[in-house]
Structure 1
Amino acid sequence: MKRRDFLAFSAAALTLPRTGFAATELALGDGKLITLSDGNLTLPGDFVLANMDPVQAAAMRQKYNLAADSYTPPCNVTLYQDATRNVLFDVGAGPDFMPSAGKLDEALAAAGLTHDDITHVLFTHAHPDHLWGLLDDFDEPQFANAEYFIGQAEFDYWIDPETVNTIGEARTTFAAGAARRLDILAEQLNFFNDGDEPVTGVTARLSAGHTPGHMSFILGGKALITGDAISNNFVAFEQPGFATPSDQDPEMAAATRVGLLDQITADGLTISGFHLPGGGVGTVTRQGDSYTYIEG
């Protein structure tokens, strides 16, 4: 047992049963989809609704029981497990982003897994809560036995030295943190594009807007890993065309979201969302141009 796994095991052993640990399971073909809690983010209350008419925003908060002064979305890391593979979609925030996140090690231990059990890691995008759990205290990849995959456009964007100068002041730490981690991992990365099948049974679906090369993944033709292309259970479904400032390109992200929801409902896909409630796994119903997220 490596030092990092011993520490994770010890932490889990001291805290189980852990009331903050959330896991949802979904049988999928010969395997199962599991969501593991990486904790939650702690954000300003207007993080998603800042550009909305104040009356509409107040009604949205009341309907979905959202606090006006803070927004604390969950962070659900998706794992696909079959007889031979443990495929992880994103790696959580790690210890350096915010104290309320970075709990994936404990969740893995509670699920009976160590870092060395992970066979594949696929990144939806390179924001801190999805990427910064990549490295251990010695700047070595946490998942030593895994193959790593990221969309070519997403990698190119974050590794470009100009990105830190053009991304905007609020996100400069995102750019610096992504560039450092991706540079360390560069020789181990496998790249893919829209429509590719980076791992057998997993098809990449470009869902740009939240970041320039954001990818979602269709798993076995039955489930869609959304990443942050659909990042909340309220306005993203009720008004998917609403441009939210939480996306790097709000207009593109809104168009992407509309297209994704149309595909999800047309194809009857179950979704696994990184910031959706109830473990993040659910279904979607359509009412004209509006949608409803149904947990479980």
Structure 2
Amino acid sequence: MRSVPKARQGSRSSNASSLSRRTLLTGAGALAAGAMAGFGIRPLWANPISLSDGEVQVFSDGNLGLPMNFILPEQTEAEIAALMEPHGLSTTMLTPDCNVTLLRRGDRIALFDVGSGSNFQPTAGELLSGLEEAGVDPSDITDVIFTHAHPDHLWGVLDEFDDPVFSEARYLVPQAEWDYWMADDTLANMPEERKSFVVGAQSRFEAISDQVEMINPGQEVFPGVEALDTSGHTPGHTSYMIHDGSESLLVLGDAISNAVISFERPEWHSGSDQDREKGAQTRKSLLDRLANDQSRIIGYHLPNPGIGRAERDGTAYRFVAES
């Protein structure tokens, strides 16, 4: 594994350059099934949440189309139907929203993840439209804080000319996440259907390397924002607790990713988790903590705008959304 203590320079790897944009999109094809149809209209941005010294606002990057057999590869059709049908939800396809969190404090503006841009799924990539509509220029963003490097969280960092969209920002990347995606053997060891994820992560990390700062769990990465280890979905997946006096709000990323499956069956393995067992352990321990302390949460893939709380429901949990 390559040691990259901070930002690094250099040309893109031969593996990255040998795969075209078409190859990247083809590799994501299994995830894009059904996406062309579209799944309703959502607002591009939500009303801000006031803090004592700033505000939080959620922007939509659109939605994804994910086959259920990708998300729940180990469950039977009967088990899936028993869980989803009482909620009136599809048993064959998920269409999760993509909620990008913006935090204003003082003269700094942070984005937590940047959406997928235009090269992942056709129903996603709306972030810049929402920012423009709300009067936020990409050059206003001072900090971009990544939860992890999956396409729908990272690929929107570059524009159509492969230049950084948020040109004035510093990019905060969990060290373990960078080390994993940039390792020499990650591409070779990745299943064929996800090799595009590696190529996409490597090319984007290299493009922003001059502006990258590495972070670790327990660190204050932005005024009043603490990084939390929520690995399992990816090796360096990190969530962020926004402290506001005696209150707190956790930007989850994908540590808890579905308002029904993750809450009612947190022990079920998810096909989207790179370490399925650790992903389940992280969900269970995180839900237990959130139900105890009643921190507000923003889930990247919870129903737009993804804001609410976790409550206990017998031996499981439920998501209580805020309007």
TM-score of the alignment, normalized to the shorter chain, above 0.5: yes
Q: Does 1:279 align with 2:290?
A: no
Amino acid aligned to 2:251? I
Give the Å deviation of 1:186: 1.6
1:239 to 262, 265, 270: 265
Amino acid aligned to 1:149? L
Amino acid aligned to 1:265? A
Q: Does 1:23 align with 2:46?
A: yes
Amino acid aligned to 2:270? T
Cα distance in 1 for residues equivalent to 2:70 and 2:96: 11
Q: Does 1:96 align with 2:122?
A: no
Partner of 1:6: none
* Runs of 5+ consecutive residues of structure 1 not aligned to the other structure: 1-17
Amino acid aligned to 1:128? P
Per-residue CA distance 1:253-296 (angstroms, 9 max, x = gap): 00011111112122221000000003111111113431110111
Is the partner of 1:77 in helix, strand or coil?
Answer: strand
Give the Å deviation of 1:230: 0.4
Cα distance in 2 for residues equivalent to 1:75 and 1:235: 17
8 Å CA contact retained: 1:46, 1:68: no
Amino acid aligned to 2:118? P
8 Å CA contact retained: 1:20, 1:39: no
Per-residue CA distance 1:208-254 (angstroms, 9 max, x = gap): 11000000000016000000010110110012111111211110000
Moved more, 108-117 or 39-48: 39-48
Q: Does 1:214 align with 2:240?
A: no
Cα distance in 2 for residues equivalent to 1:65 and 1:192: 41
Q: Does 1:77 align with 2:100?
A: yes
Alignment TM-score, normalising by the size of structure 1:
0.90
Partner of 1:290: 316
Cα distance in 2 for residues equivalent to 1:277 and 1:246: 18
Partner of 1:269: 295
Q: Which has the higher contact order (CA 8 A, sep 6+)?
A: 2
Per-residue CA distance 1:174-197 (angstroms, 9 max, x = gap): 011001110111221111111111
Partner of 2:128: 105
Q: How many residues align?
A: 279
Cα distance in 2 for residues equivalent to 1:20 and 1:271: 19
Cα distance in 2 for residues equivalent to 1:283 and 1:219: 14
Partner of 2:212: 189
Give the Å deviation of 1:70: 2.3
The 5 A counterparts of 1:63-212 are 63-212=86-235
Give the Å deviation of 1:59: 1.5
Alignment TM-score, normalising by the size of structure 2:
0.83
Cα distance in 1 for residues equivalent to 2:81 and 2:42: 31
Is the partner of 2:48 in helix, strand or coil?
Answer: strand
Q: Which runs of 4+ in 1 moved over 3 A?
A: none
Q: Does 1:33 align with 2:53?
A: no
